A and B are shown apart, each in its own frame.
Chain A
Amino acid sequence: NAGVTQTPKFRVLKTGQSMTLLCAQDMNHEYMYWYRQDPGMGLRLIHYSVGEGTTAKGEVPDGYNVSRLKKQNFLLGLESAAPSQTSVYFCASSLQGASYEQYFGPGTRLTVT
């Protein structure tokens, strides 16, 4: 049982390039989330999904797109990367139900130059 995995672990992009971050979970969780973590800011919610085929905006969605074509995968896309998107990105998942306890992946460190 791998839990929540993220690919890649590190990435360097030039301004204007695009990329996709992949999150996968094997816990059969309905809910999935993408966060970014910046120094001194805690974690902020970018987008989330409450089930296969659904997505919704979080607190800081601008410049990002997401897709949830399969229940176990949640993709985060950057169409035209900007230096302000330099951050550590975390994916999380949770069961639908009473607790919604979230479990996190190991993170992806992205640098945009």
Chain B
Amino acid sequence: GIQVEQSPPDLILQEGANSTLRCNFSDSVNNLQWFHQNPWGQLINLFYIPSGTKQNGRLSATTVATERYSLLYISSSQTTDSGVYFCAGGGISGGSNYKLTFGKGTLLTVNP
């Protein structure tokens, strides 16, 4: 199956700083999603982005499908951005793109 590698595993920022999180896939995916797990455990959809670039407020994401990676950008970080960020992908092979394989996540801590 697909392997998903996220980097960095941990990140500590001061409020107001920018950051880039990366997700690499071992195989082609045509279903790629980013999630934020807040400190209370809730998983929140950030982006569905199998290719291209999307922006939502201070967050944006870019996926380069041909090179099998995706980036999540957080600008002007706030303490409420703290939590774990997961990327997950669904493969093209076997028509199973609805099944997601998750990375191990990036733990982001934003200090005031």
Least CB separation from B1: chain A residue: A59
Q: How far is B1's CA from A3's CA once the two chains are assembled, in angstroms?
A: 30
Contacts from A to B (Cβ < 8 Å): 31, 33, 35, 40-45, 48, 50, 58-59, 88, 90, 94, 96, 99-104, 106-107
A-chain residues with CB within 8 Å of residue B25 when the two chains form the complex = none
Given A43, A59, A88, A100, which contacts B31 in the complex, CB threshold below 8 Å?
A: A100
Whether A102 pairs with B41 at a CB distance below 8 angstroms is no
B residues contacting the other copy or chain, number (CB 8 A)? 23
17 contacts between A and B (CB under 8 A): A33-B99, A40-B104, A42-B86, A42-B102, A43-B102, A44-B102, A48-B99, A50-B98, A58-B99, A94-B98, A99-B31, A100-B90, A100-B98, A102-B33, A104-B42, A107-B41, A107-B43
Q: Nearest-CB distance from B37 to chain A (Å)?
A: 9
B43 CB contact (under 8 Å) in A59, A90, A99, A101: A90
Q: Which residues of B contact A101 (CB under 8 A)?
A: 33, 45, 48
A35 to B88, CA, bound (A): 13
Tell me if B105 and A42 are in contact (CB < 8 A).
Answer: yes
| Chain A residues closer than 8 Å to B104, beta-carbon distance | 40-42
Is A42's CB under 8 angstroms from B41's CB?
no
Interface string of B81-103 (1 = CB under 8 A from A): 00000101010000001111111
Give complex CA distance A50, B95 in Å. Answer: 12
Nearest B residue to A35 by beta-carbon distance? B102
**Partner among B43, B86, B97, B99 whose Cβ is within 8 Å of the Cβ of A45:** B99
Across the interface, A43 reaches (CB within 8 A) one of B1, B44, B86, namely: B86
Indicate if the CB atoms of B97 and A100 lie closer than 8 Å: yes
Assess whether A31 is in contact with B98, with CB atoms less than 8 Å apart.
yes
Q: What's the least CB distance linking A105 to chain B, in Å?
A: 9
A45 to B101, CA, bound (A): 8
Q: Which residue on B lies nearest to A4, using beta carbons? A: B43
